[in-house]
Structure 1
Amino acid sequence: MQSVTALANTQRYRYQFDREERELLKHSVVNTLKQSKSFPEVCSSQDAMNRASAMSKRRSTGQLRRSSQYSCYSSTKTIRTVASQMSLNSRGKEIWRAPGVCEIPDILGKAFLRPELPTASETTLTLREPNAAKCISRRPWLPPNPHADIPALPPLVRSENEFQRAIRKSLPKVRVPNVTNPKALYTNFSEVGTGVNGSVLKATHCQKRSLRVAIKRCRLDPDKEYRAAILRELRIMSSGHANLIRLREAFVWRDDVWMTMDLMKCSVFAVLCQRGIPEDFTVYIASETLKALYYLHSKGYIHRDIKCENLLIGWNGEVKLADFGLATRSNRRNCDRLGTAKWMAPEVIREQYYDETIDMWSLGITIIEMMDRVPPHYRIKDEYELFETVLTEPSPTFTYSYPSMYMRGLVAWLLDEDPRTRPSARDVILEIDAHIQSNLLRTSTPDQFTNFLYQVLP
């Protein structure tokens, strides 16, 4: 009980001591500030007393509030006097106090405050005066109705592109017009077939109604080799040989190359769809094809796609070779597997280097096709199985027809597996002529062949 009473007396004594100390400190600070020369005149004694009272009451922080160097109370003498009085207790010992809160100067001001909205008088907009020199006069927009006077479109003028200039340079004897619309030159378009590089249409000339032509369209590709193949095909057709399809004109329109050629009656394949071709007509077709191949080989070209679909028949019984999309030069090292699978020579299947004698192998397969109505191994649909059969089995021969012994010998000569002993086009032409003169082979005339076509074709 005595300890509790002593503790209460101690607390009462400490509170009374603190109160007297605050009063003495407040009067001391006020007197010190009044005597200081740095004390501003605008501050009254009441303000000073309030500040001193606030400073004396910050006992909880353990340290007086120190004025910054930007404050109006930043007198060194005043701060030292107050600090020296506050840092000593009644016993004359320095009191430890925790670091307090210093005053942060306002150096940013109102930089981050939201700007005030302008008043109604300040929101008046001023229009910029128009500059007459920069004004462009335009015709008013007219609505699309029958009463509006809509001007006609100007004529479309297409400039000659680079590939058309290359055609004109490569084919100086062929007409290469600047066509804005092929329908202005030809009409009655209808598709009759497809080639290696595009489709084939037949059409009628607008001015010459009796002139009917075949038009082959090839899509232009940026590939240089593809464009070189098109130029090569045009160059071959423009040679003017009697057994090669003739090129009338060529032009470029909408990224397509249009090749205008003579319209033929049909192909040899169309005849096979009706019936097989007898031996004498087969000899005639083979002789005409050999003339075309002899000319191509002498000019340094390889056709690489000899078959009945590419042998065209004219209205007077003439035979012409067509579709030179896979043709290549014979003076380069060719080893690409190109052509139609059932007509490929063994060296083409093996992708070995080959020459123009591959066309002679394809011609031998074509002769069998004309008489049998189907090529050898036509039942084999898988390409790799077909290649394996051609490379492992002996050279094919006739299956469904009965040719003469000399025709069998001619085909066996053409289908020699060794390209070094395979004959050339000139050798076969001389051999056929010798057999015809010796009455060992029979052939027909163009008129006889025309009569045969009229009887066979519907």
Structure 2
Amino acid sequence: MQRSKSASNRLSPPSPSYSPDVSIPQTTRRKSAGCLKRINSYGQLSSSAVDSSSNLAGKSAWRSPGHCQIPDVLGNAYLKPELPTTYDLRRVDHSKRVSSRPWYPPSPYYEIPQPPPLTQKTDNEFERKLRKILKSVRVRTADPRLRYGHFQEIGTGVNGAVVRARYHRKPGVQVAIKRCILYPDRDYRQAIVRELCIMASKHPNLIRLREVSIWRDDLWIAMDLMRSSVFTVLCRRGIPEQHTVYITCETLKALIYLHAIGYLHRDIKCENILLGRDGQVKLADFGLSACTDRHNRDRLGTNKWMAPELIRQEVYDEKIDMWSLGITIIEMMDRVPPHYLLKNEDELFQTITSEPGPTFKYSYPSIYMRGLVAWLLDEEPRSRPGANDVLMELDVHIKSNLLPCSSPSELARFLGQVLPPQ
């Protein structure tokens, strides 16, 4: 035991004796700041903080007060949506599609087929009928607005409104277009066909038809554009007797041809007599025309210009146009037709059928003009003259200097003084 104690004491160094009264100086150890995580200005841990964090494995990082990390409680409870698989398409090189060789038709007689015209199946029968009747007039099935423009309404007809239009390719050329709705009524379409047949006759005293366009449910009728109507002149002043005689002679030529081909006009008045820039006189608006080979009893026309037999709905013929012409002559000189102040239709019809033929009231024509009007306004249709007889009588009076008659140039000069320039 003694030997073992001495051996242990010999191996261990001697421990200094400790006394509380003796102060032993101790060296101060420098504190390391490597345990702190410093954040740089860019929000990343500095290199010293990374080194120290590797040594502090298993310990929580230091956070400033007030900042906490929300724990991920759900984890992978919800599956993330799978994005659809995308494929990269091969880029199209348009230069490879261009062939260096030119295209040649399969044969020298090959023709590219034209697209069919835009027409309606319901109007094919009506279109074939027009093409068969109007052989000298072009019938189109395209949109008329592609050919015409600058539409301006200038009047109204029986079957539709009349507008002024210009060609797109020729702005200096103007036409008058009458637009009619193609109702399925058979009688209505027959009236349109009669009107087109009369205008397609190309008589110099009848308004000339240029072309017809069928587009959807409308019929566009292109005609010659005249300077004005006689009614437009009457809105400014009355027409002198010499111009009235000339207009009457030209209107009689139109009526002679119209009655010869078997048609009635049934609406002779100043609104339907058109005047040209060179003094031409043409009859227009044949929407109420009828055939003379039928028993006509319909009361159609303008009431103040109707003949007594037409008002009574008796069988009438072309003599009703001669009565209307006599009323029109009074209208040209008086500026208003007879019985102008009568507004009630029943009273007007009673006056026309019961009283003798009217005469001039506001003008002072010659005695020969009064005799002409009295001849035309005969109450008995059998003793009423025809258009050819009246024209022959007028020629005799004009050559005998009993009636003054102007020339086309004088009428054109008169229109230039009365109407505003266009």
Same fold (TM over 0.5): yes
What is the CA deviation profile of residues 398-450 of structure 1, one whole-angstrom value per residue up to 9, with x for unaligned ones? Answer: 00000000000000000000000000000000000000011110100000000
1:415 counterpart (371, 377, 400): 377
What is the CA deviation profile of residues 203-250 of structure 1, one whole-angstrom value per residue up to 9, with x for unaligned ones? Answer: 000111211000001111111111011000000000000000000000
Give the aligned CA root-mean-square deviation in angstroms.
1.2
- Classify 1:155/1:336 alpha carbon distance in 2 versus 1 (closer, same or farther; 3 Å): closer
- Classify 1:186/1:415 alpha carbon distance in 2 versus 1 (closer, same or farther; 3 Å): same
* Cα distance in 1 between the residues matched to 2:120 and 2:136: 22
* Cα distance in 2 between the residues matched to 1:159 and 1:427: 48
Q: Which residue identity lines up with residue 414 of structure 2 in the other structure? A: F
* Cα distance in 1 between the residues matched to 2:257 and 2:198: 10
- The residue correspondences of 1:297-316 to structure 2 (distance < 5 A) are 297-316=259-278
- The residue correspondences of 1:268-279 to structure 2 (distance < 5 A) are 268-279=230-241
DSSP-derived class of the 2:296 partner = coil
Q: Which residue identity lines up with residue 239 of structure 1 in the other structure? A: S
1:404 aligns with 2:366: yes
Moved over 6 A (4+): none
Q: Give the conservation status (yes or no) of the 8 Å contact 1:215–1:261.
A: yes
1:177 counterpart (118, 140, 155): 140
Q: Which residue identity lines up with residue 357 of structure 1 in the other structure? A: K
1:158 matched residue in structure 2: 119
1:392 counterpart (351, 354, 373): 354
Instruction: State the shift of 1:254 in Å.
Output: 1.9
Identity among equivalent pairs (%): 64
* Cα distance in 2 between the residues matched to 1:249 and 1:158: 17
* Cα distance in 2 between the residues matched to 1:336 and 1:207: 45
DSSP-derived class of the 1:176 partner = strand
Instruction: State the shift of 1:182 in Å.
Output: 1.4
Instruction: State the shift of 1:354 in Å.
Output: 0.2
- The residue correspondences of 1:70-109 to structure 2 (distance < 5 A) are none
Higher relative contact order (CA 8 A, sep 6+): 2
> Which runs of no fewer than 5 residues in structure 2 stay unpaired?
1-114
DSSP-derived class of the 2:138 partner = coil
1:434 aligns with 2:386: no
- The residue correspondences of 1:297-376 to structure 2 (distance < 5 A) are 297-376=259-338
Q: Give the conservation status (yes or no) of the 8 Å contact 2:119–2:216.
A: no
1:223 matched residue in structure 2: 185
* Cα distance in 2 between the residues matched to 1:348 and 1:156: 45
Instruction: State the shift of 1:159 in Å.
Output: 5.3
* Cα distance in 1 between the residues matched to 2:282 and 2:204: 7
Q: Which residue identity lines up with residue 399 of structure 1 in the other structure? A: K
* Cα distance in 2 between the residues matched to 1:210 and 1:338: 38
- The residue correspondences of 1:185-224 to structure 2 (distance < 5 A) are 185-224=147-186
* Cα distance in 2 between the residues matched to 1:369 and 1:296: 22
- Classify 1:271/1:239 alpha carbon distance in 2 versus 1 (closer, same or farther; 3 Å): same
TM-score, with structure 1 as normaliser: 0.65
> Which runs of no fewer than 5 residues in structure 1 stay unpaired?
1-153
1:284 counterpart (227, 246, 249): 246
Count of aligned pairs: 304
DSSP-derived class of the 1:413 partner = helix
Q: Give the conservation status (yes or no) of the 8 Å contact 1:317–1:447.
A: yes
Q: Which residue identity lines up with residue 198 of structure 2 in the other structure? A: I
Q: Give the conservation status (yes or no) of the 8 Å contact 1:164–1:251.
A: no
TM-score, with structure 2 as normaliser: 0.71
What is the CA deviation profile of residues 125-158 of structure 1, one whole-angstrom value per residue up to 9, with x for unaligned ones? Answer: xxxxxxxxxxxxxxxxxxxxxxxxxxxxx99843
DSSP-derived class of the 1:275 partner = coil
